[in-house]
Amino acid sequence: MKLDSLNNSLNNIVPTYDVDQWVDTGLGVNMVIILITVAGALFGFFYLLKKYMLPLLDSSKAIKKAKLLAFRIEVVVWLLFALIAITQFFTASIWITAGLLVVIGLVGLNFWRDFFPGLLLRVSSKFKINDLVRIQGHSGTLEKLGITSIHIKTDEEELIYIPYRKVTTDVFVKRQAKGKLMSSKIILQIGAKDPNMVVDSVADWIHQCPWAIPQSTNNAAIHPGGLLHITVYAIDSISLGKVERFIQEKVRE
């Protein structure tokens, strides 16, 4: 009797926990298992589709188009899956889910800052592998569109990794093949500036200009009357106009 009385007293002070009741009323282990199973099935389906099914198409052009379409569909499907999963977790336990999301967001802040801009860039398909590109003074060939960074192989055979957040905040230029470039001769009055200094600065100005395509035939020279003659290259007439205005501003500085 004394032992029973002591147990009853302890039970009143220290609450007891029923694991089955905790699972049923809160976090939904069955729901988690179902979501993991669905995620595995989706991953396996898209992996088999891209790895084994799409390569069976007739031409490389058709394969590229099909892969891009499959990637866009995959992005939409995963976004819907994530939305459904988060909704289910919030329904089961709003506070625990909110806490986990905050922790994931803070721990992976740099990852998400690069992941989402990169996702948008890959879905838009504005840039493709082997494109000639230029960003932040680096010119070269686009090697890979990674998960969090873009990989550029420079003309000096260096591999540059640039986070997507810098790609979205800087001017990212898609260069054309040399035979497709447009050129224009610019004639500017340099005034009282030192001619030698201006000519020496032209190459740096062209590399700084986000619309200009540096070439070995820019041929900057000072003609009688203090006139700067320079040939500039760009991908189109609009870019040529922007290059001319950029050089004008540099001369006036």
Q: Is residue 31 part of a domain?
A: yes
Question: What is residue 217's predicted lDDT score, i.e. its pLDDT?
Answer: 57
Domains identified in the chain, total number: 3
11, 89: one domain: yes
Across 13-17, 87-91, 148-152, least confident range: 13-17
The answer to whether position 121 is within a domain reads no
Confidence tier at 18 by pLDDT (50, 70, 90): very low
Output the pTM of the full model. 0.52
- CATH number, domain with residue 145: 2.30.30.60
Q: Is pLDDT at 97 greater than 80 in this prediction? A: no
Neighbours of 167 (CB within 10 A): 20
User: Does 77 share its domain with 157?
Assistant: no
**Closest among 91, 95, 92 to 103, alpha carbons compared:** 95
Average pLDDT for 7-30:
49
Structure tokens at 164: 């997507």
- Same domain? 6 vs 103: yes
pLDDT tens digits, residue range 138-178?
A: 777 888 888 888 888 887 778 888 888 887 766 566 655 55
- Does residue 124 lie within any of the structural domains? no
Shared-domain flag, residues 141 and 191: no
pLDDT tens string 172-217: 666 555 556 677 777 778 777 888 888 888 888 888 888 887 776 5
Same domain, residue pair 185 and 247: yes
* Rounded (5°) CA angle 167-129-164: 20
Three-state DSSP state, 170: coil
Per-residue confidence band for 73, with pLDDT thresholds at 50, 70 and 90 = very high
Residues 92 and 24 in one domain: yes
In terms of domains, do 30 and 43 share one?
yes
Q: Find tokens 């996702």 and name the residue.
A: 119
Tell me: do 103 and 200 sit in the same domain. Answer: no
Instruction: Tell me, letter by letter, the H, E, C secondary structure of 62-110.
Output: HHHHHHHHHHHHHHHHHHHHHHHHHHHHHHHCHHHHHHHHHHHHHHCHH
Largest CA distance in the chain: 117
The 3-state DSSP class for residue 105 equals helix
Q: Are residues 70 and 9 in the same domain?
A: yes
Q: Are residues 53 and 7 in the same domain?
A: yes
Q: Do 170 and 183 belong to one domain? A: no
3-state secondary structure of 144: strand
Residue-range definition of the domain harbouring residue 238: 179-252
What pLDDT, on the 0 to 100 scale, is given for residue 23?
42
Per the domain annotation, does 114 fall within a domain? no
Q: How far apart are the first and last CA of the chain?
A: 98
The encoded tokens of residue 24 equal 């049923």
Residue 165 sits in the same domain as residue 199: no
- 119 found inside a domain: no
